[in-house]
Amino acid sequence: MEPKIFVATKSFINHQGKILILREAKTYADGSNIGKYHIPGGRIKPGQSWQESLLREIKEESGLEVEIGKPFFVNEWRPIVREEPWQIVGIFFECFSKSSEIILSEEHDDFLWIDPKDYKNYNLIQDLYPVFEAYLNK
């Protein structure tokens, strides 16, 4: 079966030097990393600009309004979602928030603001390891 292909925008939200991570909840219908932490962002909807998509996803998942910075990494992953192969190309942006007040969506059940140097101390999805390394070396 040919995979469905998507483009996703993902955010490293910086608030006072800390980066926001979110834990995927059991209730997330498209979830493939339940119980693991990842970062806000998601697939671009047809007809929506990448900026609109990123701001929408951040608002939906965290309640935050951010300023989008520069992209710093591109990656690809291939999850199986509802028994269907997906191919997702993700573009990672540093974003900046003036607030640390989080309102979680139903897709998530926890959040943390972490020092990016300590990322290995958290139950992150493995695909984020090279992203954190790129962020720390930018």
The stretches in the chain having pLDDT less than 50 are none
The model's pLDDT over 43-83, given as tens digits with 9 standing for 90+, comes to 999 999 999 999 999 999 999 999 999 999 999 988 888 88
Q: Total domain count for the chain?
A: 1
CATH code for the domain in which residue 32 is found: 3.90.79.10
List the domain range (segments joined by +) for residue 120: 4-136
- pTM, two decimals, is 0.90
- Residue 68 vs residues 58, 98, 123: alpha-carbon distances, Å: 11, 12, 26
